Amino acid sequence: MPEAYRKTLIRQISQHAHSEVVGMLPEGNWITRAPSLRRKVALLAKIQDEAGHGLYLYSAAETLGISREELYNELLSGKAKYSSIFNYPTLTWADMGAVGWLVDGAAIMNQVALCKCSYGPYARAMVRVCKEESFHQRQGFELLLTLSKGTPEQHAMAQDAINRWWWPSMMMFGPNDSDSPHSAQSMRWKIKRYSNDTLRQKFVDMIAEQIKVLNMTLPDPDLRWNEERGHYDFGTIDWTEFNEVLKGNGPCNRERLAARRKAWEEGAWVREAAMAHAAKRQQSF
């Protein structure tokens, strides 16, 4: 295996794993405030799935010769990145719908493509992840649909959540192809099967149709069907905002890392107990 290929995969898979785990935080914020038992069960199941995704992905990264400990240290020290989207706050219950529908929706677009990537352990993990992501997206959409058909206040709350999550979701596909220098190499290695702009367009085309069913709008005055291209046209993304969040200046960057560090420190006794238990069991065999 070429060293550069191995390094690229470690970076990509670990970033992905970190995103799954940090991604649990904005939604975890609403578990205790879910409006019904049914909603709470669905949200809990969804967030637990994300923990599972993190585990498959850390395991996939470990097959490339890096330890779980090293991967975790890179996250906690701030050296490793995770998806910028999780540095935005979840302000209302409707955000649970917008996150499921838009954020998990964008994640699916990326991950379906990764099911065919050239590195087997990553590709195979993605197959199961994608099945779970479709449930995440559906529960988000259904939540928004319920709010849309509710009181005018509930409808407005759902629209506000969509307005806030739309552009950050669009940024999840990464920079435009012309500004994405590593993309070409990853395409040659078949880690990446479609370009950022191709996947973003697919996402816009899907969401622009689904939003009609929700009876809501997307916060983009330039969004319109282009008969000639057979795709929706859309407005320009504010890359300054993207770069600021990436640099650590998003609304919740510090809070998210602090929460992960706290969980790591407070979980020390669990790791010690598990190790002691494993050692004891080995002795008794």
Identity of the residue, 86 or 194, whose beta carbon is nearer to Fe ion in the bound complex: 86
Give the footprint of Fe ion on residues 18-37 (CB under 5 A).
20
Length of the chain: 285
Using CB under 5 A, count the residues that bind Fe ion: 6
Asked whether position 53 contacts Fe ion by CB under 5 A, the answer is: yes
Q: Which stretch binds Fe ion (CB under 5 A): 2-10, 113-121, 126-134, 195-203?
A: 126-134
Asked whether position 220 contacts Fe ion by CB under 5 A, the answer is: no
We find the least distance from the C-beta atom of residue 136 to Fe ion, in angstroms, to be: 4
Cβ atoms of 189 and 216 within 8 Å: the answer is no
Identity of the residue, 113 or 155, whose beta carbon is nearer to Fe ion in the bound complex: 113
Identity of the residue, 46 or 200, whose beta carbon is nearer to Fe ion in the bound complex: 46
Asked whether position 104 contacts Fe ion by CB under 5 A, the answer is: yes
Give the footprint of Fe ion on residues 1-20 (CB under 5 A).
20
Q: Which stretch binds Fe ion (CB under 5 A): 61-69, 104-112, 156-164, 234-242?
A: 104-112
Which residue in this structure is represented by tokens 């795709």? 231
Rounded to 5 degrees, φ, ψ at 99 are -65, -50
Please count the other Cβ atoms lying within 10 Å of the Cβ belonging to residue 185. Answer: 13
Strand partners, 224: 233
Long-range contacts of 274-281 (CB under 8 A, 24+ apart): none
CB under 8 Å to 233, separation ≥6 — which residues?
222, 223, 224, 225, 226
We find the least distance from the C-beta atom of residue 115 to Fe ion, in angstroms, to be: 14
**Mutual angle of helices 152-171 and 104-114, in 10-degree steps:** 40
Cβ atoms of 201 and 18 within 8 Å: the answer is no
We find the least distance from the C-beta atom of residue 137 to Fe ion, in angstroms, to be: 8
State both tokens at 282.
Answer: 């080995």
Q: Which of 39, 136, 155, 200 binds Fe ion (CB under 5 A)?
A: 136
State both tokens at 248.
Answer: 């650590």
Identity of the residue, 20 or 95, whose beta carbon is nearer to Fe ion in the bound complex: 20
Identity of the residue, 133 or 220, whose beta carbon is nearer to Fe ion in the bound complex: 133
We find the least distance from the C-beta atom of residue 48 to Fe ion, in angstroms, to be: 11
Identity of the residue, 173 or 234, whose beta carbon is nearer to Fe ion in the bound complex: 173
The rounded distance, in Å, linking the Cα atoms of 177 and 22 is 26
Chain positions contacting Fe ion, by CB under 5 A: 20, 50, 53, 104, 133, 136
